[in-house]
A = this chain, B = another copy of it.
Amino acid sequence: MAEKLLESQQIFKGKILTVKIDQVLLQNGNKSTREVVFHPGAVAVLPILANGDLILVKQFRYPVGVELLEVPAGKLDENESPKECALRELEEETGYKAQRIEYIGYIFTTPGFSNEKIYLYVAMDLIKTVQNLDQDELLKVEILRPQEVLNKCLNGEIIDAKTLSLLFLAREKGVI
């Protein structure tokens, strides 16, 4: 059921995103245009403290114009493995180093228009170190009981798709 690429035009190559317009041949013989945003990929981590509390981060998200409460996350650096990235982003954003990290799957966030793939992890056996944010990152750490986090999903305070996806998988797997 694949679509065959006929012609690709690169519209934009930014620091993070690349945008292309591709002409494709569909399985039914029709032609169509696909506007695609290429993204380097990312990780998201659910950090669980020894007492079961979860560590989330709150930050202003410019594209949507509001502050969101999310799991720690970040883009893959060049030549960085998802696991290395997860450990690095967790410590940079929260000031916790994980002695144990488990991969629980990946998601596509917007398969209709972007290839962004996010690798999901659960982090445990956490040791307090220091937060070390990028110069354009401003975020607050929030430590919450699992039930508080679930309530925030149900009442619309947690609305970030990667965060909901990761919490869902962690909950169905019995991790939280």
Is the pair A161, B159 in contact by a Cβ cutoff of 8 Å? no
The residue of chain B having its C-beta at the shortest distance from the C-beta of A30 within the complex is B135
- A67 cross-chain contacts in B, Cβ below 8 A: 1
Could you say which of A31-39, A77-85, A122-130 contacts chain B?
A: A31-39
**Is A164's beta carbon under 8 Å from chain B?**
yes
- A153 cross-chain contacts in B, Cβ below 8 A: 168-169, 172
Give the number of residues in A that approach B within 8 Å (Cβ atoms): 70
**Is A88's beta carbon under 8 Å from chain B?**
no
Which A64-112 residues have a C-beta within 8 angstroms of B? 64-65, 67-68, 70, 73, 75, 105-112
A residues lining the B interface (CB < 8 Å): 1-3, 11-12, 14-17, 19, 21-22, 24, 26-28, 30, 32-37, 39, 42, 59-65, 67-68, 70, 73, 75, 105-118, 135-136, 138, 150, 153-154, 156, 159-162, 164-165, 167-169, 171-173
> Which of A1, A70, A161 has most B Cβ within 10 Å?
A161
Task: Give 18 CB contacts A-B under 8 Å.
Answer: A1-B60, A16-B35, A17-B19, A30-B136, A37-B63, A63-B113, A64-B108, A64-B111, A64-B115, A65-B115, A105-B159, A108-B160, A111-B160, A118-B161, A153-B172, A161-B164, A164-B164, A168-B171
